[in-house]
Amino acid sequence: MDLQPTITQAFRSRFAAPPAFIIRAPGRVNIIGEHTDYNDGFVLPMAIDRAVWIALRPRRDRQVIVHSLDFDEAAEFSLDNLHKGKGWPEYIKGVAWAMQVERLKASPRGFVASAQPSGSARGVEGWEGVVTGDVPKGAGLSSSAALELAAARAFAAVSDLEWEPVKMARLGLKAEVEWVGLNCGIMDQMICAAAQAGHALFLDCRSLDFEQIPLPGGLSVAVLDTATRRGLVDSDYNERRAQCDAAARFFGVRALRDVDRQTFETRAGQLDPLTRRRARHVIRENERVSQAVAAMRRGDMERLGGLLDASHASLRDDFEVSSPALDSMVEIARQAAGCFGVRMTGAGFGGCAVALVRAEKVQEFSLHVAQEYTRQTGLTPSVYICQAAAGASLVPA
Ligand code: GLA
């Protein structure tokens, strides 16, 4: 949704002036490549047309003051005195902290890390503004990465720093891992920073090289929210990471990305069954991502859909991060007319599935899936038919 009028109006009524900058940073849905990012592997996410919006103006006193329309709450902090707290402001504070500890400063070449903290090398300037958004929170659509990258965009704007997507994604990740305390991979921050409208992002999570892959015409991306939630700052995610690391150690490689199918099959018999299943998911999922990119390029929707189906089975049976609600949703969508393929998306245990649907069938599909899901589970789902949006950007005020 275009929240520019809302955010502009909210800024005006609070500050009695127009904002100096308006920022939009999207949520994302991952088409395929799940639990591969922290294994240095491949992912194929797409930014969605649901976003975090910030309207702001600079402050020169090193204060940051942000009013959240969604939480009806204000946060204020000094860039010179950052303390950890709780809730949504931590994502903004974490980004401020990350930008400052990296001692980034503006230079004609963009961001440069300076050895000595001094003057403008303190990193960033303050600002005041309002924030809102329509990325559902806790649904696995990366509302937190969207807020981090929106904040990074805000600090970049008031501090006159060049926007370099990969560097900004790294800063967002640093905030998430070291400030917020969630040990996630870099997929969410990268797609939010680097997305191009109409495209999915084929990302190598080791080199951070990426390619923009055009979404084929006639294809709709439907996000199916199960209306079930599981917090991510959670032991299961870290446990999966630890199991993958153990498997990588077994194979004597830096990350599971470095194990090919043949090596896996030759030696897998020596692994304990659980670690073997975890590794098998990651190794095959990496293959599926490359195959999905090839299928997308050819416009081969049947093949692409089949890869999503296989990904779901693997996440359910080998990686064990699905849930009864997700499995029901996937099963219902799979049977519905027009569906090429469907799978759980994001970390799992709740949240959303993603379905690739024949465009002319998508309305009918959505209605049917929602009704049938309610009938079977008693829950009320949401269906978002998503367009592939651009990454975090300044919107002309
Ligand atoms: C969450 C994390 C990502 C990624 C996915 C699983 O969304 O934030 O880094 O690991 O789970 O693919």
- DSSP states along 132-158: EE-SPTTSSS-HHHHHHHHHHHHHHHH
* 237 CA closest ligand 1 atom index: 11
Select which of 40, 49, 134, 188 is catalytic.
Answer: 188
Overall residue count recorded for the chain in this entry: 397
- Concerning whether 245 is annotated as a catalytic residue, the answer is no
User: Whose alpha carbon is nearest atom 9 of ligand 1?
Assistant: 185
Claim: this prediction has a pTM higher than 0.75: yes
Q: In sequence order, what DSSP letters do the residues of 295-327 get, joined into one string?
A: HHHHT-HHHHHHHHHHHHHHHHHTS----HHHH
CB 53 within 8 A of CB 393: no
4-212 in CATH: which number? 3.30.230.10
Query: What distance in angstroms lies between residue 351's CA and the mean position of ligand 1's atoms?
Result: 12
> Which atom of ligand 1 is nearest the CA belonging to 347?
11
Phi and psi torsions of 55, nearest 5°? -110, 135
Give residue 142 CA to ligand 1 midpoint distance, Å.
9
Residues of the chain with pLDDT under 70: 103-122, 231-233
Cα 187 to middle of ligand 1, angstroms: 7
Residue nearest to atom 8 of ligand 1 (CA): 184
Q: Which residue's CA lies nearest to atom 1 of ligand 1? A: 347
- For residue 124, report the distance from its CA to the centre of ligand 1, in Å: 28
Among protein residues, the one whose CA lies closest to atom 2 of ligand 1: 184
The Å distance, Cα 189 to ligand 1 centre, comes to: 10
User: Which atom of ligand 1 approaches the CA of 176 most closely?
Assistant: 8
Q: How far apart are CA 335 and CA 315, in angstroms?
A: 19
Q: pLDDT of 152-195, one tens digit each?
A: 999 999 999 999 999 999 999 999 999 999 899 999 999 999 99
How far is 200 from 197, CA to CA, in rounded Å?
8
Question: Which residues, at least 6 apart from 119, have a Cβ–Cβ distance to it below 8 Å?
Answer: none
Q: Atom 11 in ligand 1: which residue has the minimum CA distance?
A: 347
| Ligand 1 neighbours by CB, cut-off 6 Å | 34-35, 37-38, 184-185, 187-188, 346-347
| Cα-to-centroid distance, 92 and ligand 1 (Å) | 20
Closest ligand 1 atom number to CA of residue 33? 12
Distance in Å, CA 28 to ligand 1 centroid: 11
With CA atoms as reference, report the closest residue to 43 among 142, 117, 125, 160: 142
Tokens linked to 339: 């569906």
pLDDT of residue 118: 38
pLDDT of residue 104: 53
Mutation test residue for ligand 1: of 184, 230, 322, the one with most atoms within 8 Å of CB? 184
Mutate to test the pocket of ligand 1, among 35, 40, 278 (most ligand atoms within 8 A of CB): 35
Ligand 1 atom closest to the Cα of residue 145 is 8
Q: What is the pLDDT of residue 109?
A: 47
Nearest atom (ligand 1) to Cα of 36: 12
CA gyration radius, the chain: 21
Domain boundaries, the chain: 4-212, 215-386
Specify whether domain 215-386 bears CATH 3.30.70.890.
yes
Contact status, residue 196 vs residue 178, Cβ threshold 8 Å: no
Same fold, 4-212 and 215-386: no
Instruction: Give all strands (DSSP E) within the chain, no chain letters.
Output: 21-32, 42-59, 63-68, 73-78, 104-105, 112-113, 126-133, 199-204, 210-214, 219-225, 339-344, 352-358, 382-386, 393-395
